Amino acid sequence: MTAVFILVDALGWELVKDRRFLLEELPYRQAVETIFGFSSGAIPSILTGLLPEGHGHWNLFLYSPHSSPFRWARPLTRLPARWRNHRAVRKLVSIIGRRLSGADGYFSIYGIPVELLPYFDICEKDNIYRPRGLAPNVSIFDQLQRAGITYRVYCYHDYDDAAAVRAILRDLRDRAAQFYFLYLCGLDAFLHDHIYSVESVSREMERYESWIRGIFRVALEADAHAAFYVFSDHGMTPVRESFDLMEAVRALGLREPEEYLALYDSTMARFWFFNDRARCAVTELLGSLPYGRVVRREERRRLGIAFCDDRFGELVYAMRPGCLIHPSYMGGNRWKGMHGFDPEHPTSYAALLARQEPPVPVRHIRDLFALMLREAGL
């Protein structure tokens, strides 16, 4: 048995549907619904078959002052603003925070101000591409290990995309494993900056196509019946406008962190309130803005982000697709493309490419878990 699963970050259905991308090798193609959120929530859904409220991973930062790996940085908040958020201080806070959190997974403090970090913890503590990385939930890698199926994983923890491709080619030639999971992340970064440049997007996609075509050929030489799938975790939405939500909230004159806390995640903002004045003022402001909407409780349940507590946000404000919070804590870049908008928007959909119709229906990215199990013979 040989099964190859290739996750191409941000290879959305919009990019694939009108292109001949790998059409000869993988003639079966379909759109796949993603989660509301980012890769930090989407990839755990692929690996466990659960929605974010089930596996507990959503946006990287969550409210948890007691477990925050940045608690020690509280005295720094007394420094003048220009010092506490100086590049060198931020770097130090990031390095020490990473060590204290024991984080072995993806880690970044993004652009979150140093004075706010002590209120937050991160949800990805372990390398999710290893067994027990998503404990207490069971991931595909736990299942493979339990069943004694030999497998290899290639991702940004150990390789850049080119090196990952070289490594899987070598292992396939050596018939080193039965199950291969390759995660290519470079297209995502490229699309964030270049989604409007049709020519350069096509060139970049050709680069990925030729890499994957090479892997496909070698996989079929190893096993003519190899299961071979290319899929993504989400799409990419062209950014058309932005709004400075941070400034609008600050103009309310509320005190942060005493009265409220907010994280501005570029396509959504998340709030925690410590008094009614703050809750009312922010809710009223958000209700008056034409740039997005408050995600209601029933919608949160439908999206699988109705966490049993409000650690990921008491109030979630979703920007309308194509309209970005700028500036945001996801960096001061003027992104040309972004993901993490409404999953029902056409540009949000992920893609699945295969040799033939999959043996289990894949409607949502979480269904990829069942597909991987099936192809592994489990």
Binding site for Zn ion (CB under 5 A): 188
Q: Measured at the alpha carbon of residue 58, what is the angle toward residues 56 and 59, in degrees to the nearest 5?
A: 140
Q: Using the minimum distance from each CB to Zn ion, give the nearer residue, 4 or 263.
A: 263
| Helix and strand counts by DSSP (H, E) for the chain | 13, 16
Of 124 and 375, which has the nearer Cβ to Zn ion? Answer: 124
Q: Across the chain, where does the E strand assignment appear? A: 3-8, 28-32, 61-63, 120-122, 151-154, 179-184, 227-231, 237-238, 241-243, 260-264, 268-273, 292-294, 315-319, 323-325, 337-338, 350-354
Question: Cβ closer to Zn ion: 60 or 138?
Answer: 60
Residues 340 and 336: their CA atoms lie apart, in Å, by 14
Q: 188 or 209, CB closer to Zn ion?
A: 188
Minimum Å gap between C-beta 10 and Zn ion is 6
CB of 335 to Zn ion, least distance (A): 9
DSSP code of 239?
P
Q: Give the nearest distance from C-beta 34 to Zn ion in angstroms.
A: 12
- Name which of 47 and 138 has its Cβ closer to Zn ion: 47
Amino acid code (one letter) for 295:
V
The residues, any chain, with a CB within 8 Å of residue 203's CB and separated by 6 or more, are none
Find the residue with minimal CB distance to Zn ion. 188
The CB-of-231 to Zn ion minimum distance in angstroms stands at: 16
- Residue showing tokens 């290639």: 154
Our CA dihedral for 91, 325, 236, 137, rounded to 10 degrees, sits at: 60
Extract long-range pairs of 160-164: CB within 8 Å, 24+ residues apart.
160/186, 161/185, 161/186, 161/211, 162/211
Question: What's the closest the beta carbon of residue 188 comes to Zn ion, in angstroms?
Answer: 4
Q: How far is the CB of 333 from Zn ion (least distance, A)?
A: 11
Q: How far is CA 250 from the centre of its chain?
A: 28
In the complex, the smallest distance separating the C-beta of residue 359 from Zn ion, rounded to whole angstroms, is: 30
Considering beta carbons, is residue 188 or 367 the nearer one to Zn ion? 188
Residue 359 to residue 186: CA distance in whole angstroms: 29
Which CB sits closer to Zn ion, 115 or 188?
188
> Is the preceding omega at residue 327 within 30 degrees of 0, hence cis?
yes
- Which CB sits closer to Zn ion, 259 or 265? 265
CA geometry: angle 233, 308, 136, nearest 5 deg:
60
